[in-house]
């Protein structure tokens, strides 16, 4: 096994562990040769790894030989050639071969190891702030060393701080490949990591399973060649080329990673599709009545989406569909139709929304639509009185009520829905994996409910393909007619008075306005304070108008009374925190003012703006911003000002923030990508997607091999 990499410490024990993620100076050479017989190690696939090393490898997520091989360098150093001291330029890492002239440890308090060394062209000082006794020995006068580091002009002439040093004999050959620098952890030296990775690479039997013609077409090397190229690039390759992740070897690795991801997602999809569900054929009774009842005709997009959903519901395997449509595209009534198709078949359907305000709004809307056709809708939220709640629960449990709307209160224990056959989740990205799973569990034993997820946060295509590859998608790409476009204005804080006048004018003309308070993420108390201040300020500035206030800390009945008054038009100006961000639908509101707009995320701004422009009135969104603006704040405001299409805004958002944050990837449970980048490698995502389909069909064993090497035993990471 590899000897313990913990070296003898020098006398000053307060020094930090010298091996960092990217060590400045290498730890001293291993004091003893490897003890384990390589043959046995090869059989085990773990050349030279003892328990301590295994523990450190686990810290960098290396649990198997495949993990080792896929642990790829961050960058490289060129030790394949020597530079004369006289030719070394400051700031560029070079390797020189020198002889030590003298070496000493300077006295405390600035205890340092300092050596003078020279080659035929000049002299250099080697300086170590922390060091091991063994290093001192290696640098005895007369020793021949290869030193690697950056030369700089020091007080005493040219010097190198913490160069990597390696004692050599005269004429010792140079390495034949570039030296990889790996991501590592404390106590795991580059040299140790290199040794075991090189071993794993030699002993692995990895093959490229991709059809050769395809690889040729894409101009990509075979996987083993790509791996060898990245771990041990020949000196003929330029460091710049290979550090660039566009290099064909990198592309081959990324394609493999994306392929593994796509395969896992498709398998998860297939596994879920294989479950049983209630078949809910289209009966055209209740749905037809609702269509008659609606004050409008469906848009083409709504009709298309509903017919896709209706077909899924008729199947006896569970639907898993994402209904995506920009704010205001009319997702609610598509959901209502789907729920009615369940009811037509005598089965239960629920609609879950992330906030109380939104859930209540859905409840009111569904009640308005469905009461005339004789259907009752149950309302479940945390705010309902215990007695009412229990009565509702009992009727749901008895199957007397078929439809229910609520917040996450729907998934709590006491709720039983014996006839549940369809669950609709609005603003699905607001819910965690566990909550969606809990909803699915509510169904009958041996049956999974059909799931319809809705989202107004448009997902850019590449993201949709990888994060939602396990869902079918319907898109509402058409807004209901008669909407007037929303004018967006950016206004500096100094002009707040003008904005208040504008609010006044709009309300006097019979319209209504939202005034959204600054977002203060770090403190709910402060957020509350600003909301109350804005409310006081506007009430004073607009004495002739009824001003209301909603925020997350209000009691639910106060909140819902205020919302109801705003819907009824009794409140003209609604001061609000982001509780109104999603879903709120008051067509008479034509003005949206957002204070400190620079603090909001792009998706949030788009959602908030989508609260207006819902009626026939001319609408505006006024973004008040405070200076100075950060770079991303500026980019966000520019994007929201220039674009109204949610898909374009989402793409901008992805560009500004990166996919991890965009989607909350860690939370979503989808296997994270280590090397591929969904935006940059969009082309590869497409290829991987097609390939995954073919491989699953024709060569399931290849699919196993690919996912095993990337995810190993961690397939459980897959999204629920």
What is the three-class DSSP state of 407?
Answer: coil
Chain centroid to Cα 37, Å, comes to 44
Interacting residue with ligand ADP among 299, 348, 562, 619 (CB under 6 A): 299
Beta bridge partners of 378: 404
**Residue 223 touches which member of Mg ion, ligand ADP, none, C-beta under 5-8 Å by kind:** none
Q: Which two tokens stand for residue 492?
A: 């500096």
Partner interacting with residue 221 (select from ligand ADP, Mg ion, none; CB below 5-8 Å by kind)? none
- Beta bridge mates, 28: none
Q: Is 332 in the site for ligand ADP (CB under 6 A)?
A: yes
Shortest Cβ 228–ligand ADP spacing (Å): 52
Q: Which of residues 437-456 bind ligand ADP (CB under 6 A)?
A: 456
- Assess 296 for contact with ligand ADP (CB under 6 A): yes
Taking the least distance from each CB to Mg ion, the nearer of 73 and 583 is 583
Give yes or no for a contact between 598 and 631, defined as CB atoms under 8 angstroms apart.
no
Could you tell me the smallest distance in angstroms from the CB atom of residue 433 to Mg ion? 22
Answer with the entry of ligand ADP, Mg ion, none that 419 interacts with (C-beta below 5 to 8 A by kind). none
Decide if 518 contacts 595 (C-beta within 8 A).
Answer: yes
Is residue 374 within 8 A of residue 347, CB to CB? The reply is no
**What is the rounded distance in angstroms from the CA atom of residue 276 to the CA atom of residue 267?**
16
- CA dist 718 and 703 (Å) reads 16
Q: Name residue 621's beta-bridge partners.
A: 488, 592
CB under 8 Å to 154, separation ≥6 — which residues?
125, 127
From the CB of 428, what's the least distance to ligand ADP, in Å? 12
What is the SS3 assignment for 643? coil
CB 637 within 8 A of CB 623: yes
Q: Which of 333, 420, 503, 649 binds ligand ADP (CB under 6 A)?
A: 333
225 binds ligand ADP (CB under 6 A): no
State which residue, 156 or 296, has the beta carbon closest to Mg ion: 296
Q: Pick between residue 332 and residue 562 the one whose CB is nearest to ligand ADP.
A: 332
Can residue 362 be called a binding residue for ligand ADP (CB under 6 A)?
no
Q: Which of 326, 377, 373 is nearest to 349 (CA)?
A: 377
Residues 132-151 that bind ligand ADP (CB under 6 A): none
Binding interface with Mg ion (CB under 5 A)? 583
**What does the alpha-carbon distance between residue 484 and residue 488 come to, in Å, rounded to a whole number?**
12
Task: Indicate the residue among 163 and 583 with the shorter CB distance to Mg ion.
Answer: 583
Q: Does 208 bind ligand ADP (CB under 6 A)?
A: no
* Binds 585: which of Mg ion, ligand ADP, none (CB < 5-8 Å by kind): ligand ADP
Determine if 27 is a binding residue for ligand ADP (CB under 6 A): no
- Please say whether the beta carbons of 126 and 160 come within 8 A: yes
* 463-482 residues near ligand ADP, rule: CB under 6 A: 480
327 binds ligand ADP (CB under 6 A): yes
Per partner kind, with CB cut-offs from 5 to 8 A, the member of Mg ion, ligand ADP, none near residue 587 is ligand ADP
Kindly state the tokens that stand for 703. 């699919």
Q: How far is the CB of 585 from ligand ADP (least distance, A)?
A: 4
- Which partner in ligand ADP, Mg ion, none is near 133 (CB below 5 to 8 A by kind)? none
579 to 598: interface string for ligand ADP, x by CB under 6 A: ----x-x-x-----------
| Element holding 505 (H helix, E strand) | helix 496-508
* 613 makes contact with ligand ADP (CB under 6 A): no
Q: Which of the listed partners (ligand ADP, Mg ion, none) does 333 bind, with a CB threshold of 5 to 8 Å by partner kind? A: ligand ADP
* 48 touches, from ligand ADP, Mg ion, none (C-beta below 5 to 8 Å by class): none
By beta-carbon proximity to Mg ion, the closer residue of 327 and 574 is 327
The residues pairing with 319 across neighbouring beta strands, listed in sequence order, are: none
Q: What is the DSSP letter of 598?
A: G
256-264, 294-302, 340-348, 633-641 -> range binding ligand ADP (CB under 6 A): 294-302
In terms of phi and psi (left: phi > 0; alpha: psi -120 to 50; beta: otherwise), the region of 187 is left
Identify the residue among 254, 266, 331, 440 touching ligand ADP (CB under 6 A): 331
Residue 458 makes contact with ligand ADP by CB under 6 A: no
Which residues lie closer than 8 Å to 152 by C-beta, 6 or more apart?
Answer: 90, 91, 158, 159, 160, 161
The minimum distance between CB 421 and ligand ADP, in angstroms, equals 22
Total chain residues near ligand ADP (CB under 6 A)? 18
Position 350 contacts ligand ADP (CB under 6 A): no
Strands 486-492 and 348-352, how do they pair? Answer: unpaired
Q: Counting contacts by CB under 6 A, is residue 367 touching ligand ADP? A: no
State yes or no: residue 324 binds ligand ADP (CB under 6 A): no
Q: What is the dihedral of CA 383, 388, 393, 396, to 10 degrees?
A: -110
Q: What is the DSSP string of 113-181?
A: EEEEEEETTEEEEEEESS--HHHHHHT-TT-EEEEEEE-EEETTEEEEES-EEEE--TTPPPPSSPEEE
Question: Using CB under 6 A as the criterion, which residues of the chain lie in contact with ligand ADP when the complex forms?
Answer: 296, 298-299, 302, 325, 327-333, 456, 480, 583, 585, 587, 614
């Amino acid at each position: 096994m590899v000897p313990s990499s913990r070296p003898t410490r020098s006398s000053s024990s307060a020094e930090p562990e010298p091996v960092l993620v990217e060590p400045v100076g290498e730890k001293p050479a291993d004091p003893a040769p490897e003890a384990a017989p390589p043959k046995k190690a090869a059989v085990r696939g773990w050349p030279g790894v003892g328990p301590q090393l295994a523990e450190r490898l686990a810290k960098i997520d290396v649990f198997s030989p495949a993990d080792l091989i896929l642990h790829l360098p961050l960058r490289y150093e060129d030790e394949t050639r020597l530079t004369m001291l006289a030719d070394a330029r400051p700031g560029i890492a070079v390797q020189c071969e020198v002889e030590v002239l003298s070496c000493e440890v300077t006295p405390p308090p600035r205890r340092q190891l300092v050596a003078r060394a020279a080659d035929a062209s000049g002299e250099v000082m080697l300086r170590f702030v922390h060091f091991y006794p063994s290093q001192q020995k290696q640098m005895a006068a007369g020793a021949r060393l290869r030193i690697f580091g950056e030369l700089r002009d020091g007080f005493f002439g040219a010097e190198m701080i913490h160069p990597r040093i390696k004692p050599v004999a005269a004429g010792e050959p140079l390495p034949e490949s570039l030296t990889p620098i790996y991501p590592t952890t404390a106590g795991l030296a580059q040299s140790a990591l290199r040794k075991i990775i090189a071993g794993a690479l030699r002993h692995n039997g990895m093959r490229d399973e991709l059809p050769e013609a395809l690889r040729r077409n894409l101009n990509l090397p075979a996987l083993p060649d790509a791996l060898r190229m990245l771990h041990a690039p020949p000196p003929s390759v330029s460091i710049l080329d290979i550090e660039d992740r566009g290099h064909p070897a990198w592309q081959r690795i990324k394609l493999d990673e994306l392929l593994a991801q796509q395969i896992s997602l498709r398998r998860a999809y297939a596994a879920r599709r294989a479950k049983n569900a209630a078949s809910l054929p289209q009966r055209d009774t209740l749905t037809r009545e609702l269509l008659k009842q609606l004050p409008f005709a469906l848009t083409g997009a709504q009709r298309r989406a509903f017919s896709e959903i209706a077909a899924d519901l008729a199947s006896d395997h569970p639907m898993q569909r994402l209904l995506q449509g920009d704010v205001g595209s009319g997702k609610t009534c598509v959901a209502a139709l789907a729920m009615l198709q369940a009811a037509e078949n005598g089965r239960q359907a629920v609609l879950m929304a992330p906030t109380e305000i939104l859930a209540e709004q859905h409840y009111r809307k569904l009640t308005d639509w469905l009461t005339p056709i004789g259907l009752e809708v149950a309302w479940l939220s945390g705010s309902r009185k215990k007695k009412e709640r229990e009565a509702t629960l009992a009727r749901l449990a008895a199957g007397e009520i078929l439809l229910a709307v609520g917040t996450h209160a729907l998934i709590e224990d006491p709720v039983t829905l014996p006839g549940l056959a369809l669950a609709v989740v609005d603003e699905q990205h607001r819910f965690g994996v566990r909550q969606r799973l809990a909803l699915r569990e509510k169904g009958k034993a041996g049956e999974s409910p059909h799931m319809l997820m809705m989202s107004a946060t448009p997902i850019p295509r590449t993201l949709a393909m990888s994060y939602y590859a396990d869902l079918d998608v319907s898109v509402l790409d058409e807004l209901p007619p008669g909407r007037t476009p929303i004018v967006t204005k950016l206004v500096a804080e100094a002009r707040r008075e003008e904005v208040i006048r504008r609010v006044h004018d709009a309300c006097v003309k019979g319209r209504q306005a939202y005034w959204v308070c600054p977002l203060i993420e770090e403190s709910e108390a402060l957020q509350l304070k600003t909301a109350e201040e804005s409310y006081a300020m506007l009430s004073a500035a607009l004495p002739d108008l009824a001003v209301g206030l909603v925020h997350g800390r209000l009691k639910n009945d106060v909140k819902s009374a205020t919302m109801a008054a705003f819907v009824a038009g009794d409140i003209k100006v609604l001061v609000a925190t982001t509780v109104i961000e999603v879903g709120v639908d008051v067509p008479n509101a034509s003005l949206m003012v957002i204070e400190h707009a620079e603090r909001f995320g792009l998706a949030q701004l788009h959602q908030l703006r989508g609260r207006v422009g819902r009626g026939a009135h001319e609408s505006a969104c006024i973004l008040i911003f405070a200076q100075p603006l950060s770079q991303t704040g500026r980019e966000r405001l520019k994007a929201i000002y220039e674009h109204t299409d949610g898909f374009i805004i989402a793409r901008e958002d992805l560009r500004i923030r990166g996919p991890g944050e965009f989607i909350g990837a860690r939370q979503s449970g989808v296997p994270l990508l280590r090397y591929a980048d969904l935006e940059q490698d969009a082309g590869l995502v497409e290829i991987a997607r097609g390939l995954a389909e073919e491989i699953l069909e024709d060569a399931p064993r290849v699919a196993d091999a690919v996912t095993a090497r990337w995810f190993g035993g961690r397939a459980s990471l897959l999204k629920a």
